[in-house]
Amino acid sequence: MTRIEQIGDATLYLGDAYEIRPTLGWFDVDAMDPPYEFRAEGGGMYRAARKGMDDIVEQGLHKGFEHSVINSLLCGAAVVFCHNDQLPKLLPYIDGNFERFALCTWRKKNPQPVANKHYRPVNEFYVHAWNKGFHPTGTLDDLDRQIIAMSPRGDDKFGHPTVKPDAVMDKIMPNVLGATVCDRFMGTGSTGVAALRAGKRFVGIEHNPAHFDTACRRIEEATRELAA
C-alpha cells in the first residue's frame, strides 16, 4: 500500500514511481535524479576505505532507469540528471519528445579521487528539456549552464550515497517555469526543499522507506523555516 504524507505545499508518496507517477496527472516540471547506469566495480584503496560505492550497488543506483518515465504528455518541462555514459541514448529520446533542450553541468569543487579507467568525476550532467511555454527563466547570470558546488560529504549526505547539493537544486528550481514540480526519484528530498524555497508546490515519490522518512523530515523543516 502506498504511504502518502501531506506537508504544507508538498505531497510525498512512498512507492514505485513507475506505477504512481502516471496516476498523478500534469505537472509544469518533472525534475528527477534517477539511477545512473555505470560500471560500479573497481575503486581500489579509495573504495576499500569508504562505503559510498558499495551503498550505491546495494541500493541498485547503478542500474539505470527506463526513459519512458520522462513523459512530455505529463509535463511542460523536465530536468534529468544522468551519467556521462547515458547521454548517447538519453539525448535522442529527449530530442524526440520536447521542443528544445540544454545540456548543463554541475562541477564539483571536491570530486572523488578516483577515475576507475574513465575520467575523474569532476562534472555531472543534467538535461533541461522543455516544450513551448516552459522555457528556462531568469537573468543571464541565472541561466548559466554550469553550477559550481561542493559535493556533499558526511552528515550533509543524509545517509544517501548520491544526494545532490542544496546549492545545485537551489540554482535549478528558479530556472524552471511553472508552479508545480514532481520528482519521481525523490531520494532525501533535496529537490522538494529547493522547490518550496522557490515558491512552488512539490510532489515527490520515493521507494526507499529510510530515504522517504528523511525527505519528510527535511521538507517539514523547510516548511517551518519558510513559515517563520
In this predicted model, what pLDDT tens digit does every residue of 86-103 receive, in sequence order? 999 999 999 999 999 999
- Domain boundaries along the sequence of the chain: 3-227
Helix-, strand-, coil-residue percentages of the chain, each rounded to 5? 35, 25, 40
CA distance 79 to 129: 6
pTM over 0.95: no
Number of Cβ atoms within 10 Å of the Cβ of 109: 10
The one-character DSSP state at 8 is T
Distances (CA, A) of 82 to 24, 37, 119, 188: 24, 8, 15, 18
Nearest C-alpha neighbor of 79 from the set 164, 197, 139: 164
Per the CB < 8 A criterion, the answer to whether 2 and 17 are in contact is no
Per the CB < 8 A criterion, the answer to whether 181 and 160 are in contact is no
Reply yes or no on domain 3-227 having CATH 3.40.50.150. yes
Name the 3-class secondary structure at 4: strand
Q: What is the pLDDT of residues 177-205, one digit of tens each?
A: 999 999 999 999 999 999 999 999 999 99
> Per-residue pLDDT averaged across 71-92, rounded?
95
Q: C-alpha cell of 199? A: 515558491
pLDDT of residue 206: 96
pLDDT of residue 159: 73
Nearest C-alpha neighbor of 19 from the set 208, 205, 209, 212: 205
What residue type is 68 in one-letter code?
S
Distances (CA, A) of 219 to 155, 177, 211, 222, 226: 17, 21, 12, 5, 10
pLDDT of residue 152: 84
Name the 3-class secondary structure at 106: strand
Proportion of the chain above pLDDT 70, given as a percent = 87
Per the CB < 8 A criterion, the answer to whether 112 and 153 are in contact is no
CA distance 154 to 9: 29
